[in-house]
């Protein structure tokens, strides 16, 4: 009987990701990546597009749902305090925004069973508010002129999102992918003091919603100067940011927190353009930085649109071979990059 035939039992996706989050040993580092696609329309079409990408095409360890139906309030619509006062509590039972997501989660859970983690993408109250008023400069201007109205709106948004996220978990999601914008110290963000005033308190309200989940991921969006220290203590299980793009390395954050870290691939680099050797090199470097413990290999932010004729190729991978390749190599599975639709909002 050969001794090398079976080195260890292969974990299920859920076992692998759970072990990574806890800091236990894994059969190989869990892998996920994503981009935004626009299935346009129904909860079922979203579920089908999600399944195709995460499960069938790339055999990823986490299934991340990225709904195309935005929060029910028009973008760039708010110009003054009265606009902020139009943001109201959502009727969750009647909200397409919430009910469509619940339906997608249920379909995915039915299809995938319990051994694939499912997380729902959610934008923070401040992120939504930035869309509603047309961006950072408009937001700061209005926050200065009518802070009471802005804070009131953020509080309602936070409660709505909190309630929605609680339902996502109750309906079968393992966690949320909670994306924050504005948490940078440069001219694209709010700066630390204002993030602590307009971002953090509402993040903490909202993040009370998915507290029964075990795979809540905080995505700190930005290409530089992240205010990571202002959010490190959030009640989440995993931290994700553009470690390559921002220069804030996995190693540096590893030194500051015991949370599971997620990243390692440059979303505008080899992951998009190849070559495979570079994708592999980034993976190996990321594993070295983190010791491969409490770590999920992933892109830092959404991989942008790519012509499907590029590395994206889209040829269905032979799942078995790829899994073995990853296990044997101790590094990333080779990936064909991400293809499909452009990000209409960044996560």
Note the residues at the interface with Zn ion (CB under 5 A): 221, 301, 346
Closest chain position to Zn ion (CB): 301
86 or 344: CB nearest Zn ion: 344
Q: Check if the beta carbon of residue 5 is closer than 8 Å to that of residue 279.
A: no
In this structure, how many other beta carbons lie within 10 angstroms of the beta carbon of residue 170?
Answer: 14
CB of 347 to Zn ion, least distance (A): 6
200 or 221: CB nearest Zn ion: 221
CB of 300 to Zn ion, least distance (A): 7
Place of tokens 């040829």: 315
CB neighbours of 79 closer than 8 A, spacing ≥ 6?
A: 133, 138, 142
CB of 34 to Zn ion, least distance (A): 11
CB of 223 to Zn ion, least distance (A): 9
Distance CA 64, CA 54 (A): 8
Q: Check if the beta carbon of residue 174 is closer than 8 Å to that of residue 182.
A: no
103 or 268: CB nearest Zn ion: 268
Q: Check if the beta carbon of residue 87 is closer than 8 Å to that of residue 156.
A: yes
149 or 207: CB nearest Zn ion: 207
CB neighbours of 143 closer than 8 A, spacing ≥ 6?
A: 150, 194, 198
CB of 305 to Zn ion, least distance (A): 15
Residue 17 has phi, psi (to 5 degrees) of: -70, -40
Name the token pair of 111.
């299809």
Name the token pair of 12.
């299920």
CB of 130 to Zn ion, least distance (A): 13
Name the token pair of 104.
């997608």
CB of 301 to Zn ion, least distance (A): 3
3-state SS class at 306: strand
11 or 227: CB nearest Zn ion: 227
186 or 212: CB nearest Zn ion: 186
142 or 184: CB nearest Zn ion: 184
36 or 335: CB nearest Zn ion: 36
Distance CA 297, CA 311 (A): 19
CB of 116 to Zn ion, least distance (A): 23
Q: Check if the beta carbon of residue 239 is closer than 8 Å to that of residue 257.
A: yes
Residue 84 has phi, psi (to 5 degrees) of: -65, -35
Name the token pair of 303.
């991989």
83 or 189: CB nearest Zn ion: 189
CB of 325 to Zn ion, least distance (A): 28
For residue 206, which of 170, 176, 186 has the smallest C-alpha distance? 176
Q: Check if the beta carbon of residue 282 is closer than 8 Å to that of residue 263.
A: no
Q: Check if the beta carbon of residue 314 is closer than 8 Å to that of residue 308.
A: yes
Place of tokens 């986490």: 62
For residue 245, which of 182, 187, 299 has the smallest C-alpha distance? 299
224 or 276: CB nearest Zn ion: 224
CB of 266 to Zn ion, least distance (A): 13
């Amino acid at each position: 009987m050969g001794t090398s035939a079976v080195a260890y039992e292969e974990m299920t996706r859920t076992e692998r990701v759970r072990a990574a989050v806890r800091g236990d040993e894994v059969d190989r580092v869990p892998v996920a990546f994503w981009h935004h696609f626009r299935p346009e329309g129904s909860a079922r079409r979203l579920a089908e597009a999600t399944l195709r990408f995460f499960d069938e095409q790339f055999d990823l360890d986490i299934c991340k749902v990225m709904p195309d139906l935005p929060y029910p309030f028009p973008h760039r619509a708010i110009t003054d305090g009265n606009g902020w006062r139009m943001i109201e509590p959502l009727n969750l039972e009647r909200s397409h925004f919430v009910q469509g997501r619940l339906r997608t989660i249920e379909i995915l859970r039915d299809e995938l069973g319990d051994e694939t983690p499912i997380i729902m993408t959610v934008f923070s109250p401040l992120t939504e508010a930035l869309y509603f008023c047309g961006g950072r400069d408009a937001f700061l201007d209005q926050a200065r002129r009518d802070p009471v109205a802005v804070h009131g709106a953020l509080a309602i948004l936070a409660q709505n999102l909190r309630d929605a996220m609680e339902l996502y978990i109750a309906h079968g999601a393992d966690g949320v992918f909670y994306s924050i914008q504005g948490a940078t110290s440069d001219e694209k963000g709010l700066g630390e003091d204002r993030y602590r005033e307009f971002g953090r308190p509402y993040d903490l309200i909202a993040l009370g919603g998915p507290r029964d989940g075990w795979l809540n991921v905080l995505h700190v969006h930005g290409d530089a100067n992240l205010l990571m220290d202002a959010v490190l203590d959030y009640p989440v299980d995993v931290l994700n940011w553009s470690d390559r793009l921002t220069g804030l390395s996995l190693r540096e954050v590893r030194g500051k927190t015991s949370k599971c870290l997620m990243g390692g691939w440059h979303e505008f680099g080899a992951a998009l353009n190849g070559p495979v050797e570079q994708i592999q090199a980034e993976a190996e470097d990321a594993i070295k930085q983190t010791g491969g413990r409490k770590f999920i290999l992933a892109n830092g932010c959404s991989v942008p649109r790519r012509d499907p004729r590029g590395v994206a190729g889209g040829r269905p991978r032979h799942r078995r071979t790829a899994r073995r390749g990853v296990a044997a190599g101790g590094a990333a599975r080779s990936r064909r990059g991400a293809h499909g639709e452009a990000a209409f909002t960044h996560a």
